[in-house]
Amino acid sequence: MNETIKFSDDISYDLSEILFKYNTDKIFVLVDENTFIHCHPLIKTAFAKEPYVIQIPAGEKSKDIETVTFLWKFLTTHNADRKSVLINLGGGMITDLGGFVASTYKRGIDFINIPTTVLAMVDAAIGGKNGINLENYKNHIGTFNQPAALISSTEFLKTLPQKQILSGFAEVIKHSLLSNEKTWNNIKNINPEKINFEQLNLILKESSKIKQNIVNDDPKETGIREALNFGHTVGHAIETFFNNKNIEILHGEAIAIGLIAELFISNKKFIFPFEKLFEITEYLATYFPSYKIDYNDYDELYNIMKHDKKNKNNKIIFTLLKNIGEVEINQTCSKEIFFEALNFYYQIKK
């Protein structure tokens, strides 16, 4: 099924229109403590009958099998059946987790994604990838299953910290590089720290459309959808590395480092143009925070990448670029070039 993304000017009304077709009084809303306070009030009038609201702790630590078991038990205790609906109201953690729970409960119930962060609106909530972490391995357990509906609204972003908006912007940058020169040129002239919500709304629509088109062509990631992994082989390793050390790093901040490293690898393997390499990395280095990665950490990062779920035949797999909009999937990289890429990041962030 090709999902349809609706950018809403009246989130409560549009949600009520979707729920009207369901013949069930068993509607569940999954939130964390932040989205319960800031986002849940915006959809309260959508329901003919009060839904069951399930609140879990915010943060990536909730995306584990213990929380999944808690949610399965909650649904069971409240007599959820196969006509029940789960609404995932939150960022990427909530949509990933809620989609997985809905996909596996009684072999699957419908779920609706209402992303409330930039990251979720352009990436996590789109495409039917649902999953949880296994210890610190990102999204190690999961399913492919599309939401019954996906509704976005920039109203949710008005209480979001600037740091979270910037984190999501890393995926916007990635999509522009996968798309074409024109899209990247539009992005590079934007200061994401000073963007207004009208401008942001247009950017999010365009960015989500880029991802949606790729997903619709390859819903189960057997080919071109692997383009969306650009920046993520290194980025996920960076995220796991700092999480292991109990150092907070946002997903988009890790992906920004991954983009810098994988653009360097693209230059080494496919002669990705030097001038564009420095233009893009300068943009990323200007707006995203610096994280200290020492040479002594390189082996640990390399070993983390060996567990990446994208790997094939015991080889670490990358998505790289020949040029902006020219994607090369299923690529490998020597340990030496990977180390050079980390050196490159170290030099530009000094």
Would you please indicate which residues are annotated as catalytic (active-site) residues? 107, 129, 171, 211, 221, 225, 229, 232, 236, 251
C-alpha 29/C-alpha 57 separation (Å) is: 14
List the structure tokens of 277: 């390499």
C-alpha 78/C-alpha 248 separation (Å) is: 36
**Closest CA relative to residue 96, chosen from 30, 19, 170, 27:** 30
Question: Do residues 298 and 335 make contact, with C-beta atoms less than 8 angstroms apart?
Answer: no
- Residue 63 one-letter amino acid: K
